[in-house]
Amino acid sequence: MINRKHIKTFSFITAAALMMSVASCSKSNSGTEAASASSEKATVSDKSSSEVLSSDDIDISKEISNDEDGAHAIEADGETSEYSNLKVTKTGDSDSGDEADFYGDNSAIFATNGATLTLSDIVVDTDGTHANAVFSYGDGTTVNISNSVITTTGNCSGGLMTTGGGTMNATDLTIHTTGNSSAAIRSDRGGGTVNVDGGSYTTDGKGSPVIYSTADITVSNAVMESTSSQGVVVEGKNSVTLNNVELIADNNTKNSDKSEYYQAVMIYQSMSGDAAEGLATFNMTGGSLTNANGDVFFVNNTATTITLEDVQIVNRDADGVFLRAAAAGWGSSGANGGKVNLYLKDQDLTGDMIVDDISTLNMYLSSGTTYSGAINADNSEGQIYVEIESGSKWVLTEDSYITSLTCDADGIELNGHTLYVNGVEYTQGTTSSGEAIEIISESSGRSGSPDGMPGDPPSGSPDGKPGDPPSGERPEGDHPKGGPDKK
């Protein structure tokens, strides 16, 4: 039941933005409404396609639509509002990609200024450029959404969007995006916190991973699939945690020419200013990760910790590797490799690893892990440390070259191949003691803020907004600025 209505007018355009020649996004939000007025979740293992929530499953009692460029169908500005059994339709475009991606311009449902917005049993459809579906902006702002269906068809139009320190809590959603640069679960400048439990999340567009993280994003008990892009992209000092998630990625199109590789999970720093520099984190426990094309993990121009525990890993591409840490087109040439701490716990993992001459890898096998594969079989000069806890094992599938090794007498099975440790041939059945490689978390190009957020706005930046990005390359995967198809 909707108890009251209001119409909001707002503007994010300032003198600083006008100096950037950004078109004005001030809009009178006619058609904007605000109001004050679950079922048990299936796990990945027992969730079938017939159980995926559809719009036909939701009882709609009211419809709200908005077709004005830059405006919203629903806005909560510093208030507590609730909606249920509602269909929301948004058309129209944003005059400015940055206003839409950073501050919520043209989103169908928008919460800001410390609002708490609760949504349940709703259907959201958007068809416009930079028409994000549900947007949480700013410190203290929280959106809670459950048992709802979101569809976006335009370019640069994500399902859930969180920026500026906002919070997004989502339960049992179905999200499907078909446009380019339209992640199902998105964040941008200033990041925030995103918690997702249950549901189905699918993306079809180029540069549209299921998750694009410049925030702290946790997803549990969900099914996620990308049919064109990476499954997950983590940029800068941010994180993605997956618990009991089924992730399928078929990265078969590119969003830029900065890398020749395809991958299921990409971890990098673009230098665009959208994500602070520092240690990126990817954690996955339980569930499965299936890669259809290229490599499983690619790390470039950043330091990261990757932790996998009891995850079923499948790479359907026989030419792809499990992990590639290497230079690409982001950052400063010669200093933009990948720096990886890889923790494998209770894993049965097969796949090669490549660490180029400006990259590093510390790999830790524990809790009964068996790793079958080769590391730098081509004798690349990357720095590599391997530590194998008692009860875990590395089975070589080709000759391998590493820098340092810690293991007991049973930790290495050469399997007819040769392992070179700092140029010296390892003898099976011997113990070894080595040292991990120090990993510096800053990317090449500039220093990052210590807390993973953009920090204080530059002088002249209004309203606590992060201001203009420094010069640098735009990100891969999502959020193109200035057009639907380029970064």
Q: How many domains does the chain have?
A: 1
Return the higher-pLDDT residue of 150 and 32.
150
Give the pLDDT score at 477. 53
Q: Which domain holds residue 56?
A: 9-336+443-464
Dist. CA 196–CA 171, nearest whole Å: 6
Asked if the model's pLDDT at residue 42 lies above 50, the reply is no
Percent of the chain clearing pLDDT 70 (strictly above): 78
Decide: helix, strand or coil at residue 232.
strand
The residue type of 261 is Y
Q: From 380, 389, 347, select the one nearest 361 (Cα to Cα).
A: 380
Return the higher-pLDDT residue of 321 and 457.
321
Return the higher-pLDDT residue of 63 and 484.
63
Dist. CA 161–CA 189, nearest whole Å: 11
CB 196 within 8 A of CB 172: no
Pick the range with the lowest mean pLDDT from 5-19, 278-292, 460-474. 5-19
Asked if the model's pLDDT at residue 194 lies above 60, the reply is yes
Give the pLDDT score at 446. 38
Q: From 160, 170, 283, 166, select the one nearest 212 (Cα to Cα).
A: 160
Return the bridge partners of 298, or none. Answer: 266, 324
Q: From 197, 153, 157, select the one nearest 173 (Cα to Cα).
A: 197
Give the pLDDT score at 2. 32
Res. 237 pLDDT band, cuts 50 70 90? confident
The residue type of 237 is K
List all residues 6 or more positions away from 272 whose beta carbon is below 8 Å from its beta carbon: 469, 472, 473, 474, 475
Per the document, the length of the chain is 487
pLDDT tens per residue across span 243-288: 999 999 999 998 888 888 999 999 998 756 565 667 899 999 999 9
8-state DSSP, 91: E
Task: Establish if 378 belongs to a structural domain.
Answer: no
Dist. CA 387–CA 130, nearest whole Å: 46
Cα-Cα-Cα-Cα torsion 116, 120, 123, 124, nearest 10 degrees, comes to 10
Return the higher-pLDDT residue of 483 and 44.
44
Task: Establish if 156 belongs to a structural domain.
Answer: yes
Asked if the model's pLDDT at residue 43 lies above 50, the reply is no
pLDDT tens per residue across span 63-119: 999 999 999 999 999 999 999 999 999 999 998 889 999 999 999 999 999 999 999
Please give the full DSSP string across 296-329, using - where no structure is assigned: EEEEESEEEEEEEES-EEEE--TT--SEEE---S
Q: From 356, 374, 255, select the one nearest 300 (Cα to Cα).
A: 356
Dist. CA 402–CA 419, nearest whole Å: 8
pTM of structure: 0.83
Decide: helix, strand or coil at residue 437.
coil
Dist. CA 372–CA 355, nearest whole Å: 17
pLDDT tens per residue across span 406-456: 999 999 999 999 999 999 999 999 999 999 999 876 555 433 322 222 333
Q: From 309, 313, 316, 305, select the one nearest 338 (Cα to Cα).
A: 305
Q: From 162, 179, 257, select the one nearest 213 (Cα to Cα).
A: 162
Residue 193's H or E segment, with its range, is strand 192-203
Task: Establish if 401 belongs to a structural domain.
Answer: no
Give the pLDDT score at 476. 52
Dist. CA 448–CA 431, nearest whole Å: 40
Please give the full DSSP string across 350-378, using - where no structure is assigned: E--EEE-TT-EEEEEEETT-EEES-BSTT
Give the pLDDT score at 33. 38
Dist. CA 187–CA 271, nearest whole Å: 16
Task: Establish if 166 belongs to a structural domain.
Answer: yes
Give the pLDDT score at 277. 67
Pick the range with the lowest mean pLDDT from 28-32, 50-54, 310-314, 453-457. 453-457
8-state DSSP, 435: -
Residue 17's H or E segment, with its range, is helix 15-19
Give the pLDDT score at 108. 98
Asked if the model's pLDDT at residue 17 lies above 80, the reply is no
Dist. CA 155–CA 485, nearest whole Å: 8
With the C-alpha atoms ordered 440, 336, 295, 174, is the resulting torsion angle positive or negative?
Answer: positive
